[in-house]
Every structure is written in C-alpha cells, then in structure tokens.
Amino acid sequence: MEETIRVFEVRKEVLRKDVTTERMIFELKEYENIGEKEWVYHAPNAQDHTEQQVEEILKKLKELNSTADNKG
C-alpha cells in the first residue's frame, strides 16, 4: 500500500534569545540539464551564492573596509 503525506505549515513563530553561534550553510547543487555540480553558499536571507559571487562579495567588502572612515 502506497502512502502519501502532505504537510502544510500555516504559521510558525520563532523566538531566539542569546544566540551565540552562527551557521554557514553550503549546498551541493546538481544541474541535470548541463550535467554539472557546484557547491553554493546558502545565505541567511535564503539566497544561494556561487563561489564566484562570494569572491565578488568579499572583494567589494575588502574594498569598502579599506576606504571606510572607521573613526566613529
């Protein structure tokens, strides 16, 4: 006998207190149409970023920090 289960989450509330750890999520994406795989960084805002995108983000962040006036 085959069983099918469907779960629908209507509303979920999450309350976090004193979160002291950070998670970095990486996912292996498989592109069947082109037969390739790559690891992507899954950002906290639920966006996926490729290695090239993360390098570009890091490059820009370093550039901003090197020219920033960090005196307050």
Contact 25, 42 (CB under 8 A): yes
pLDDT for residue 66: 79
What is the pTM for the complete model shown?
0.47
Q: Nearest-CA neighbor of 26 among 40, 6, 37?
A: 40
Beta-carbon contacts of 13 under 8 Å, excluding residues fewer than 6 positions away, are: none
Could you read off the pLDDT of 15-66 as tens digits, one per residue? Answer: 777 766 677 788 888 888 888 888 888 888 778 888 899 898 888 878 877 7
To which residue do tokens 């901003």 refer? Answer: 64
